[in-house]
Structure 1
Amino acid sequence: MPNTVIIGSGSYIPENVIEGSHFKDSIFYDDNNQLIEKPTEEIIEKFVDITEIKRRRYLNPEDFNSDLGHRASLEAIADAGIDKEEIDYIIYATNFGEVDTDGVPNFMPSLSAKLNGKLGIKRRDCVNYDMIFGCPGWVEGLILADTLIKAGKAKTVLVVGGETLSRVTDAFDRNKMIFADGAGAVVVRATDDTTVGVIADKTLCDNGEEICFLENAPSLNLEADQSKLYIRMRGRKIYEYALKNVPDAIKATIEKANLDISDISKILIHQANAKMDYAMIGRLFKLYGQKEYDHAISPMTIQELGNSSVATVPTLFDLIKKGKLEGQQFTPGSHIIFTSVGAGMNINCVVYKFPEGKI
């Protein structure tokens, strides 16, 4: 049974840099629909202290999710050195699909179908598939690609994560400062070397009371239009859930790969909140009896790029792979982890081993 290796990667980071000052004229309401009386500058400052998000990126008004995914995919295909006609499946992870400038999500046709068309692939048996799985969507897309390859259904798969969250945020919700836009993509291919590539994975879905931790909801300002829906995040609930469940899921996946935490060189974790990420990785190391850990094992981009949902992990991977993240690199033959938690609530984790030689 073949394994799955990444042979190319790409990302698209929008050019519009949004500083904290962008929100200085905002009026914020809390989760109880009450006006927050604190000065906006104080709210922004506290937000940065907690999340470490100083800047984020927004797409251009004329762009759409599929445009971002298209640019990332072209880069990944070129990096892989393949003909686009070799692609058997396109898996596109998203939460809101093709959102227009009025914030209306659109899934018809699917994003993967739109991307297929923009790439100009002529093969009719190149299958397009949208992965709607919350922020863990790209990691789950990688898991699905590995499943398809192991089942003999595909040899080459394009896995994309793209989101335009700036178009689905409530103007009166301070959490809007978390969200950003972007896209990341990888090309994966079957290999007969079963010692490399995706060597273990795990997915957990808690869809009981957790279902409302991240959802669509009307504006927090009851005097605003209540017919439109926006992304709503119950931060404290998500923090508690993630801290309790994600470290255990990562450890279980490492054990499934018959490895120890000492065998892992990098942990690429979805970044929604720096404080939460530090806490999750710290808890993971405590499960192995280690009170401290080298923060270099878990590279961060959230400070400059914000939370672009499904795009955070593949973008992070691409930046490190291409030497664009200072002080970070992958080592041939090393093990890394892809992991995420998000709407559902869903958690997933992949242990990936690089082949020896060129990455």
Structure 2
Amino acid sequence: MSCKITGTGSYIPSVVTKNDHFQQHEFLNSDGSLFPGDNEATIQKFKAITGIEERRYINDKLNTSDIAVIAAEDAIKNAGIDKETLDYIIVAHNYGDVKAGCIQSDTVPSLATRVKSKLRIKNPKCVGYDVLFGCPGWIEGMIQANAFIKAGIAKKCLVIGAEALSRVVDKHDRDSMIFSDGAGATILEASSEEGGILSHQTATFSFQEAEYIYFGKSNHSEAPEDVRYIKMNGRKIYEFALVNVPKAMKECLEQSGKNIEEVKKIFIHQANKKMDDEIIKRFYRQYKMAPPENVMPMTIQELGNSSVATVPTLFDLVNKGKIADQHLEKGDIVIFASVGAGMNINAITYQV
């Protein structure tokens, strides 16, 4: 028995926010002092490093659970299954539902419960729960769904990654330009076919690395003291990822029994183009190879970093032929990989 992805779906928000949007922002250092240089130079440097030209935000009427439902409906339709036959709904996110104009996260009931309710699923044996695992949350949800299926306690699982980071960014922090909103979903099913999830690796580095991404106060000294925003130590994360992600990917691939020459695509968390490019180079360097052309699809230039949503959204777009010069064929070997708050790293080797 294998565990195969039988359906994919995603929601890409309609509000397009280009880099020019940040021209009038007042960017400050963490101590409240004015960031040196003009915004144009800051934006151009940001683009050169991250590759981001624009990002997507949800409109004021939507919350994270809403876009999770849209992606889920897309995946259910693509799989052609009866939603009442789902055994688990696993929703990966980090900040819950944060309504437009509100400063409080809402996680009760869980987002998975809200998704199940909005999907109008009646079956009480369909269990919903949330995963808080940083940006690698969707991959970790897939690993858990795989375990349920392999243990014989589930046959069909819906795994969603959804986030609305635009609701938790500090507009005075340059890092706010990185983050975006979105949702991606997959149906994972027990199958008699070969392939599916072949291996996986997960690690949590928290001895010194736990606070690389955290919730902190605004860079503006006059902002309310009790309001917190997503914050990160970009340099530390960059250095950490370059050392640890390639190792995890190599361990995962070797565990699968597949060869590096068989890998057709690598779906990596869309965090930072420069960082992702270097991770792939270092991964292949372990095999004394250069990365093959087109091995790493990218969406960060248009969609930004939507945390847990980046990998399932990217996979959905490639799976449905919506990214130029990127496609999948039955039997292809691919790797999913991510790094994020925790600091958590994970990877999956998967055969289409």
- Normalised to the residue count of structure 1, the TM-score between the two structures is 0.96
1-structure distance, mates of 2:41, 2:160: 37
Show the counterpart of 1:243.
242
Show the counterpart of 2:149.
149
The answer to whether the aligner puts 1:301 opposite 2:296 as a matched pair is no
Output the amino acid matched with 2:239. Answer: E
The answer to whether the aligner puts 1:88 opposite 2:87 as a matched pair is yes
Output the amino acid matched with 1:172. Answer: H
Show the counterpart of 1:205.
204
My pick for the range that moved more, 37-46 or 272-281, is 37-46
Aligned length: 351
2-structure distance, mates of 1:325, 1:14: 17
Return 5+ residue gaps in structure 1 as ranges. Answer: 355-359
2-structure distance, mates of 1:81, 1:66: 22
Return 5+ residue gaps in structure 2 as ranges. Answer: none
Structure 1 residue 328 displacement after superposition: 0.3
Structure 1 residue 209 displacement after superposition: 1.5
Structure 1 residue 31 displacement after superposition: 3.4
**CA deviation map 1:308-330 (0-9, x unaligned):** 00000000000001110111000
Structure 1 residue 192 displacement after superposition: 3.0
Runs of 4+ in 1 over 6 A off after TM superposition: none
| Counterpart pick for 1:318 among 310, 316, 319 | 316
2-structure distance, mates of 1:167, 1:255: 40
**CA deviation map 1:204-227 (0-9, x unaligned):** 111121111001000112222221
Output the amino acid matched with 1:297. Answer: V
Q: Describe the SS at the equivalent of 1:276.
A: helix
Q: How does 1:2-151 map to 2 (within 5 A)?
A: 2-101=1-100, 102-151=102-151
Q: Describe the SS at the equivalent of 2:210.
A: helix
Q: Describe the SS at the equivalent of 2:99.
A: coil
My pick for the range that moved more, 31-40 or 274-283, is 31-40
1-structure distance, mates of 2:31, 2:148: 45
Q: Describe the SS at the equivalent of 2:294.
A: helix
Show the counterpart of 1:352.
350
2-structure distance, mates of 1:174, 1:162: 23
2-structure distance, mates of 1:146, 1:19: 38
2-structure distance, mates of 1:272, 1:196: 28
2-structure distance, mates of 1:236, 1:32: 18
1-structure distance, mates of 2:320, 2:191: 22
2-structure distance, mates of 1:315, 1:37: 36
Q: Describe the SS at the equivalent of 1:296.
A: coil
Q: Describe the SS at the equivalent of 1:348.
A: strand
Q: Describe the SS at the equivalent of 1:243.
A: helix
Structure 1 residue 295 displacement after superposition: 4.2
Cα RMSD of the aligned pairs, angstroms, is 0.9
Q: Describe the SS at the equivalent of 2:245.
A: helix
1-structure distance, mates of 2:33, 2:87: 51
Show the counterpart of 1:357.
none
1-structure distance, mates of 2:209, 2:306: 21
Q: Describe the SS at the equivalent of 2:40.
A: helix
Structure 1 residue 294 displacement after superposition: 2.7
2-structure distance, mates of 1:212, 1:116: 33
2-structure distance, mates of 1:22, 1:61: 18
Show the counterpart of 1:338.
336
- Normalised to the residue count of structure 2, the TM-score between the two structures is 0.98
Show the counterpart of 2:326.
328
2-structure distance, mates of 1:55, 1:103: 25
Structure 1 residue 259 displacement after superposition: 1.7
2-structure distance, mates of 1:142, 1:135: 13
1-structure distance, mates of 2:309, 2:291: 26
